[in-house]
């Protein structure tokens, strides 16, 4: 295997220019691939006239990214008031907003109501909560179902809904729909998210099949008008070099077949919604970081200037993320390195004993597929600051879309005296 088994978003020359202009570490995003992925998704579901992708804002909550997606026809799936505000600030509002929240505080519902977002209720008890704190229901409402058990595709368990905190049982869904119908709701949606980061092309089609059957049965049983099915997130990314990318065209075709099989004979027409985050943005982003130390003990460590505070998936999920040693791309993999950050936590390792070309202090590394659930999961442990985000624009230029955090940002919520603050800033400047 060579270092180019997964092509990097940028090569050495461009990476060094970016490092010079913006410093390291930085999260970079490629506008062209974001647009291409959004277009491929829309094309895959073009057979369904009402299809809409509601991008899961939590994956990459940056206005520049949300605006690109909005231009490609995507709405936003939000879980909190803050995410709703971000989307609203980008002009994404009304039925282009979905609130797929859980354990929701009243304030979040107030904002969602004011913005005209579609409300996706996670639990039957939220209906009474809404009436108590918000008032009458909108005319169109969605409920999130969790059928329990395992979710199997070709005899393999790919998800365990039964152990997931999300959604309501099928019985609760029925009672909720009847309750909502009796209170004036006229249009219904069903949402489910039963497996995460799925590879292969069967997850959406099988989920759709199950949900379409549910739609057919509930329509007959309750006489409600179900106008959309929200397949939510869960389509995966081929993080590892040998893995095959899900084929979105085939996935769309599989959902179409389920639609033809179940809904067409029942005379039901509805819109398909998706809330993909990972699939849409994951491969369109990468984390650029520089090797600042090289240490050999029982393992060979490349210490980089990024850490789990910039990107936590390897630390918390033990997730594989491909690494390219940009200054040595294409050279034989003669090194075996653990790529680590500076947190006082041993899980702060982006790669363990990874075969890479010989690499040393000063070299640039690219950590792949960090475009979704990357910067957004960042945190401030050890007082580490979150990095900048840079957009590689379609016209060949690049643009800062989020500045790096400064010590002042970290201190903003603390009761530090002006003198203390000045002292800290001063200490930081002295070298």
Ligand X SMILES: *Cc1c(COP(=O)(O)O)cnc(C)c1O
Q: Which stretch binds ligand X (CB under 6 A): 51-59, 132-140, 178-186, 406-414?
A: 51-59
Distance between CA atoms of 16 and 8, rounded to whole angstroms? 14
Say if residues 336 and 354 touch (Cβ distance below 8 Å).
yes
Residue nearest to ligand X (CB): 233
Q: How far is the CB of 397 from ligand X (least distance, A)?
A: 28
167 touching ligand X, by CB under 6 A = no
Query: What are 211's two structure tokens?
Result: 């949900």
278 touching ligand X, by CB under 6 A = yes
Of these, 8, 159, 277, 314, which contacts ligand X (CB under 6 A)? 277
| 125-132 CB contacts, 8 Å cutoff, 24+ apart | 127/176, 127/179, 127/180, 129/104, 131/183
Q: How far is the CB of 325 from ligand X (least distance, A)?
A: 28
Query: What are 215's two structure tokens?
Result: 């739609």
Residues pairing with 152 in the sheet: 157
Q: Which of the residues 82 through 121 are near ligand X (CB under 6 A)?
A: 100
53 touching ligand X, by CB under 6 A = no
Pairing between β-strand 52-56 and β-strand 271-274 as defined by DSSP bridges: parallel
Q: Which of the residues 367 through 386 are near ligand X (CB under 6 A)?
A: 372
252 touching ligand X, by CB under 6 A = no
Of these, 56, 76, 81, 115, which contacts ligand X (CB under 6 A)? 56
Say if residues 77 and 55 touch (Cβ distance below 8 Å).
yes
310 touching ligand X, by CB under 6 A = no
Q: How far is the CB of 408 from ligand X (least distance, A)?
A: 31
Of these, 196, 243, 250, 338, which contacts ligand X (CB under 6 A)? 196
Distance between first and last Cα of the chain: 43
67 touching ligand X, by CB under 6 A = no
Q: Which of the residues 17 through 36 are near ligand X (CB under 6 A)?
A: none
309 touching ligand X, by CB under 6 A = no
Of these, 77, 108, 202, 398, which contacts ligand X (CB under 6 A)? 77
Q: How far is the CB of 276 from ligand X (least distance, A)?
A: 5
Query: What are 399's two structure tokens?
Result: 């643009």
Q: How far is the CB of 141 from ligand X (least distance, A)?
A: 16
Q: How far is the CB of 391 from ligand X (least distance, A)?
A: 20
172 touching ligand X, by CB under 6 A = no
Q: How far is the CB of 157 from ligand X (least distance, A)?
A: 17
Of these, 25, 75, 234, 283, which contacts ligand X (CB under 6 A)? 234
Of these, 59, 64, 180, 315, which contacts ligand X (CB under 6 A)? 59
256 touching ligand X, by CB under 6 A = no
The size of the interface with ligand X (CB under 6 A), counted in residues, is 16
- Cα–Cα distances (Å) from 328 to 139, 295, 366, in that order, read 59, 19, 11
Q: Which backbone phi and psi does 153 adopt, to 5 degrees?
A: -130, 125
| Crossing angle between the packed helical segments 203-222 and 248-258, to the nearest 10 degrees | 30
Q: How far is the CB of 281 from ligand X (least distance, A)?
A: 8
Q: Is the peptide bond before 25 cis (omega within 30 degrees of 0)?
A: yes
276 touching ligand X, by CB under 6 A = yes
Of these, 233, 283, 371, 378, which contacts ligand X (CB under 6 A)? 233
- CA-wise closest residue to 312 among 387, 371, 374, 380: 374
Query: What are 45's two structure tokens?
Result: 């579901």
Residue 165 or 430 with smaller CB distance to ligand X: 165
Q: How far is the CB of 151 from ligand X (least distance, A)?
A: 14
Residue 6 or 144 with smaller CB distance to ligand X: 144
Footprint of ligand X (CB under 6 A): 56, 58-59, 77, 100, 193, 196, 232-234, 275-279, 372
């Amino acid at each position: 295997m060579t270092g180019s088994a997964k092509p990097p978003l940028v090569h050495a020359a461009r990476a060094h220019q970016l490092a010079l202009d913006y410093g390291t570490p930085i999260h970079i995003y490629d506008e062209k691939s974001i647009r291409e992925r959004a277009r491929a998704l829309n094309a895959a579901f073009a057979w369904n006239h009402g299809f809409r992708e509601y991008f899961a804002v939590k994956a990459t909550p940056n206005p520049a990214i949300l605006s690109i997606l909005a231009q490609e026809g995507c709405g936003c799936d939000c879980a909190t008031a803050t995410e709703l505000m971000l989307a609203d600030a980008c002009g994404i509002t009304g039925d282009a907003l979905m609130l797929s929240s859980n354990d929701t505080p009243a304030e979040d519902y107030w904002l969602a109501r004011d913005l005209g977002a579609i409300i996706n209720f996670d639990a039957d008890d939220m209906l009474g909560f809404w009436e108590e704190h918000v008032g009458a229901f909108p005319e169109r409402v969605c409920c999130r179902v969790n059928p329990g058990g395992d979710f199997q595709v070709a005899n393999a368990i790919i998800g365990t809904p039964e152990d997931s905190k999300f959604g309501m049982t099928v019985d609760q869904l029925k009672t909720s729909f009847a309750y909502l119908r009796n209170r004036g709701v006229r249009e219904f949606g069903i949402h489910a998210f039963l497996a995460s980061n799925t590879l292969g092309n069967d997850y959406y089609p099988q989920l759709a099949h199950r949900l379409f059957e549910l739609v057919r049965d509930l329509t007959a049983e309750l006489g409600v008008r179900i106008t959309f099915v929200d397949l939510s997130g869960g389509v995966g990314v081929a993080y590892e070099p040998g893995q095959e990318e899900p084929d979105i065209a085939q996935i769309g075709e599989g959902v179409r077949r389920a639609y033809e099989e179940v809904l067409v004979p029942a005379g039901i027409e509805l819109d398909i919604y998706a809330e993909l985050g990972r699939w849409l943005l994951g491969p369109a982003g990468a984390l650029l970081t520089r090797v600042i130390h090289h240490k050999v003990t029982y393992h060979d460590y490349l210490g980089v200037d990024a850490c789990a505070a910039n990107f936590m998936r390897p630390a918390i999920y033990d997730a594989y993320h491909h690494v390219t040693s940009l200054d040595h791309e294409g050279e034989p993999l003669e090194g075996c390195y653990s790529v680590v950050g500076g947190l006082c936590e041993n899980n702060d390792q982006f790669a363990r004993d990874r075969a890479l070309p010989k690499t040393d202090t000063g070299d640039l590394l690219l950590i792949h597929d960090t475009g979704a659930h990357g910067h957004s999961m960042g945190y401030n442990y050890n007082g580490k600051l979150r990095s900048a985000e840079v957009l590689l624009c379609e016209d060949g230029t690049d643009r800062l879309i989020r500045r790096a955090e400064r010590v002042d940002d970290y201190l903003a919520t603390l009761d530090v005296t002006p003198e203390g603050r000045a002292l800290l800033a001063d200490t930081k400047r002295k070298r």
